[in-house]
Amino acid sequence: MLVRASHEASRCRYGSPRVHEDLREQGEAVSRKRVVRLMQLEGLRARARKRFKSTTMSGHDQPVAANVLDRDFVAAAPNQRWVADTSEFVIGSSGKLYL
């Protein structure tokens, strides 16, 4: 079936409007309502994109630290460059753990 082939060619990302457009570009005379009906009969649904989750609290009034290293991580001798990183773990609904 052309509808299934178009849907799978899009890695199951296309919904009925884009599948309809794809079929029209291939020269198929088909209405969007028919594509909707055929997709429903076949159980085809578009996979939704993951929503962007903001992990940085940008609305604070604290000063931003200066970029002292400016990505120059090469040191001529030991103990000249020190860097750190943190990891955040969400512990259920009770709070967060930082390492």
pLDDT for residue 93: 79
Q: What is the pLDDT of residue 37?
A: 96
Mean of pLDDT values over 5-27: 93
Tell me the CA distances in angstroms from 20 to 12, 16, 36, 56, 90, one per residue in order: 14, 6, 9, 39, 42
Give the residues across from 91 on adjacent strands. Answer: 95
The secondary structure element, H or E, covering residue 25 is helix 16-25
| pLDDT higher at 59 or 28 | 28
N-term to C-term CA, the chain? 53
28-55 tens-digit pLDDT: 999 999 999 999 999 999 998 888 887 7
Tell me which DSSP letter residue 16 carries: H
* CA dist list (Å): 47 to 11, 24, 27, 42, 66: 9, 22, 25, 15, 42
In this predicted structure, the answer to whether residue 82 has a pLDDT above a threshold of 80 is yes
| Total-model pTM | 0.52
pLDDT of residue 46: 92
pLDDT score at 57: 75
pLDDT value, residue 17: 94
Q: What confidence score (pLDDT) does residue 55 get?
A: 75
Mean pLDDT of 60-89: 88
